[in-house]
Every structure is written in C-alpha cells, then in structure tokens.
Structure 1
Amino acid sequence: MNQFTGRIPPELGLLTNLSWLDLSANQLSGQIPVSRGSDPGLDKLVATKHL
C-alpha cells in the first residue's frame, strides 16, 4: 500500500540479496520485467523467498 503507480522497474532485478518483495495493493501496470542480455529483470531474484 505504498501507492506506487506505473511499471515495475526492471532494476529491482539488481537487488540480488532481496529476500521479500511485496508489490500488492499498488497500482502497477505492464508486464513483469524479465532480463534480456545485460538488462536486469525480476527473474534474477533467485534468493527471494516471497515475490
């Protein structure tokens, strides 16, 4: 409930030690970012226990 709006930033994929990411109850739009080449994406969050 942070009132985030817009797209999910792909740079969140750079937070490799992130253990919990809860984006619910916001007004986010667009696709879930997936890494491509050297561009980050949420698929890089392999240590995340809750997404």
Structure 2
Amino acid sequence: MTNSEQVRNAEQVTRQARFGRLPERIRIEDTVEETPATVLDPARNTYNADEWLIRNVV
C-alpha cells in the first residue's frame, strides 16, 4: 500500500466512525417545554360554573 492509500483508508475509517450510524432517537416529549404565558392571578381566574345559578335562581 502506498502512503496515499493509507491516508484514504484512514479517512474512510474516521468518516465511518463519525457518520456511520444515525444518532439516537429523541422523543418529541423531550424536545418541548411548556410554560404559562402569564402568571395566573387567583383573584381573576376564579371561574365558578354554578355562578349563574346563584345569580339567577336566588
């Protein structure tokens, strides 16, 4: 083997080691982070589904 063939073989081995297989799969759940857009205000966000009963029936 000549020197240039050895260099080519070394390059092929290096390329195969680096790009020879696909990277590990990443689940979509691991790529998304959910954060609220605003801080919840308890005085403002107190919805009561039965409030109409209190206001209209009593």
TM-score, normalization by structure 1: 0.16
Higher strand proportion, which one? 1
Q: Tell me the TM-score normalized by structure 2.
A: 0.15
Q: Which has more radius of gyration? A: 2
Work out which structure has the larger RCO, using CA pairs closer than 8 Å and 6 or more positions apart in sequence. 1
